A and B are shown apart, each in its own frame.
Chain A
Amino acid sequence: MSDHSAVLDAHQDEHVAHQFANAKQQYESSNLGMWLFLMTEVMFFGGMFGAYVIYRTWYPEAFKIASTATNVPLGAMNTVVLIVSSLTMALAVQSAQLGKKKMLVWMIILTMFFGAWFLGVKAIEYSEKWHHHHVPGANFIWEGDGGREVQILYCLYFAMTGMHAVHMVVGLGIMTWLLLTAIKGHYTPKYYNPVEICGLYWHFVDIVWIFLFPMLYLI
């Protein structure tokens, strides 16, 4: 960051909003703003993680049994897909920094592609759960051991992956906007802050999944 700040300090450009004194102030403010927003997101998911930890401690057996019925191969594939999308996102930020417009556009498209892929797989998993009667409330039937608490894991499964999927959809919306502005050539090595900030959000959503996958599928 510090090696760019000299450039940012140099002179104002048309991208500095009226309330800021200079580009450096704007750059630092928007980055801090995004980090604070991600902090609220941590607390948002934290509520569900808290509930998960408590129920897991109370009903370890039921949770262990319940998680055997999740589709580990699909979950693992989605994990890989998201990690790759994080990579393409990082490359997008780098392209913007270096001013490679074409590369930037393609990297955004690839990131969106992987994001959509993830959601597609998630949809397959959900419909599979429906067919196996593993949707709590609606049609839950559990044949095996574990007792009624098995259903609690599935409540958490749908709430947590559902909230994550909502964040993915929002992310795709943001990426669409980023794509359109990138095609118009808004971003230059002097002004690529929005790409960086969207990147932060995208990485955060990926990291949430990195936690969800082992919690809901593996252990």
Chain B
Amino acid sequence: MSAYVETPDAASKVNYLTNGWTWQSWLLTGDHKRIAMLYLISITVFFALGGAFAAAIRLELMTPRGDLMEAETYNKVFTMHGVIMIFFFLIPSVPATLGNFLIPLMVGAKDLAFPKINLLSWYLYIIGGILGLYVAVSGGVDTGWTFYTPYSSTYSNSAVIATAMGAFVAGFSSILTGLNFIVTIHKMRAPGLTWGRLPLFVWAHYATSLIQLLGTPVVAITLVLMMLERGFRIGFFDPALGGDPVLFQHLFWFYSHPAVYIMILPGMGVISEIVTCYSKKSVFGYEFIAGSSLAIAILGFFVWGHHMFVAGQSTYAGMVFSLITFAVAVPSAVKVFNWAATMYKGSISWDTPMLYAMGFMGLFTIGGVTGVMLATMALDLHMHDTYFVVAHFHYVMVGGMVMAFMGGLHFWWSKMTGRSYPEMAGRVSAFLVFIGFNLTFFPQFIVGYLGMPRRYHAYPDEFQVYHVMSTAGAGVLGIGYLLPAIYFTYSLFAGKRVTDPNPVNAKGLEWTVPTPPPTENFIVPPVVTEEVYAYAEQEEKSLV
């Protein structure tokens, strides 16, 4: 089948990593696995950068006076933190790295449907990222990642257009990735791989891709309108012409709320894979986990108004948005309960990925229930735009998505690189991340309820104790992230070599190919004959 390997024996000699050593073989590659690695390197750089901005924020907030930096600098720092973490880290994090790497493998295809478009999406991401970096070094932007008008379109004196352009371009990269995934999942599944046998990771990415396709273009045009208003004074949202600045918020959140689900659904897919593998059990309630991904994606398009309960939106519209937001809690809860039920009477190993997955379940639950609080209109009157909101979305984004991303990275690391990481160091870092995370963000719930508003660079004295805790926690969290960066890099060069196609005894087509996989993935085109997560059948075979 493949031009590179004739026999299974030769497969171990040439894999996608060793197939070509030139720069061009990487930078002009069409191979989804190489593109995934390119993405992995680039998002790691942005994560480190966004993390550095976060560290600056935490240091500044240690004291109630703004004594580390000027207000203007602080505003630029939190804006860069948000822009980088959201547009250049969270949105591409799991889909563009693990998704890119694994979806063709999981569906039994040689590559994604459009390899050149896949490469193009990486270049678009890089162009967007370079614009973001250019802004960071050339004076910054101070609008917050939400670009609210009329501040962004009229009053800000910073590089708004370049930043919005960066987000705009990166948005297209996200659209193209989503498009590639949907076509691949629809049209390139191996014979026998029915929709009911798709791994839940693939279902989660299918739902994510729908949001990317339908939501991202709306924020793209919204940013264009904002840039036109800023650049040419074509005032769509200008109150002096009878325009409405709140309309910008509606258009912006129409995408950006579903985008929150772009930032969590792929993580949920990762957790489904890890929990089943490390419990050695078929997943509990497959249809419900798969269906809830789609339910979240669809309902997610009708809740954007909960960002505007106090923004002068009609209270009746607010009621509808509040109710639908409550409804989103159901499919999210269904997932958590099903994962917990999957562990019931399992055979659970305490390996690093499973530790991250268990952390995810707990932290995501906290993120979810505090989301229910914020969806209550009366509580939002008080908690809107306070640190309560900040803590809530960090519990979902960092406690959820980043934990899942780390878990997935550990889970598939040997498959991706052919090397293993030191297990003990992995467990220590998972523990540190969990402790550090909670210490950083739990106090923010309290200080938020006390009334500390977001995006404040100086604050009343009585809030200080919580900010000090938060900063201390951020230190622990930082070490928790630094550790994997070190041992992963180390393992690339000196880690134990893995050649076993399935070192963790997991189910799924990605574990049937050699480690690391050859360029066109499958030596013999796969045919699927068993149900998904057939761990029971695996035992029977091993007993025979």
Contact = CB atoms under 8 A, between A and B. Distances in A.
Verify whether A and B have any Cβ pair under 8 Å: yes
Contact of A155 (B188, B235, B244): B235
Contacts of A214: none
Contact of B217 (A44, A151, A152): A44
Interface stretch (A28-36, A80-88, A90-98, A110-118): A28-36
Given A151-B235, A159-B228, A32 B216 contact: no
A185 interface: no
B214 A39 contact: yes
B525 A155 contact: no
A12 interface: no
Nearest to B231: A137
B242 A54 contact: no
Contact of A29 (B187, B243, B244): B187
B232 A149 contact: no
A28 B241 CA distance: 48
Interface stretch (B109-117, B319-327, B497-505): B109-117
A21 B184 CA distance: 12
Interface in B233-247: 233-236, 240-244, 247
A45 B213 CA distance: 13
- Which applies to chain B's interface (DSSP): helix, strand, loop or mixed? helix
Interface string B134-159: 00000000000000000000000000
A55 B217 CA distance: 21
A25 B108 CA distance: 14
Count chain B CB atoms within 10 A of each CB in A18, A20, A47, A149 and give the residue with the most: A47
Given A50-B251, A151-B235, A155-B234, A44 B111 contact: no
Contact of B175 (A28, A40, A156, A163): A40
A19 B235 contact: no
Contact of B520 (A18, A138, A151): A18
A194 to B, nearest CB: 13
Contacts of A36: 179, 182-183, 213
A29 B241 contact: no
A151 B240 CA distance: 10
Nearest to B184: A29
B140 to A, nearest CB: 26
Interface in A97-146: 136-138
B114 A33 contact: yes
Contacts of B476: none
Contacts of A158: 234
A137 B233 contact: yes
A173 to B, nearest CB: 15
B236 to A, nearest CB: 5
B224 interface: yes
A43 interface: yes
Contacts of B234: 136-137, 155, 158-159
B218 A43 contact: yes
Given A40-B175, A152-B243, A51 B251 contact: yes
A41 interface: yes
Nearest to B237: A51
B38 interface: no
A54 B221 CA distance: 16
A59 interface: yes
A47 B217 contact: yes
A48 B183 contact: no
Contacts of A55: 243
A58 B186 CA distance: 43
B99 interface: no
A126 to B, nearest CB: 13
A124 B259 CA distance: 40
B166 interface: no
Interface in B72-120: 109-115, 117
Interface string A151-180: 110011011000100000000000000000
A47 B113 contact: no
Interface string B505-524: 00000000000000010000
Contacts of B113: 19-20, 29-30, 33
B225 interface: yes
B443 interface: no
A184 interface: no
Nearest to A36: B179
Query: Considering the complex of A and B, which 7 residue pairs feature the smallest CB-CB distances, nearest first?
Result: A137-B233, A44-B217, A19-B111, A47-B221, A43-B217, A149-B242, A29-B187
Interface of B: 109-115, 117, 175, 179-180, 182-184, 186-188, 213-218, 220-222, 224-225, 228, 232-236, 240-244, 247, 251, 254, 520, 525
17 contacts: A18-B111, A19-B110, A19-B111, A19-B188, A21-B188, A29-B113, A33-B117, A33-B179, A39-B214, A44-B217, A44-B220, A47-B254, A48-B225, A58-B242, A136-B234, A148-B241, A158-B234
Interface of A: 17-21, 25, 28-30, 32-33, 36-37, 39-41, 43-48, 50-51, 54-55, 58-59, 62, 136-138, 147-149, 151-152, 155-156, 158-159, 163
Given A20-B113, A44-B218, A155-B228, 4 more contacts: A29-B184, A33-B180, A43-B217, A147-B242
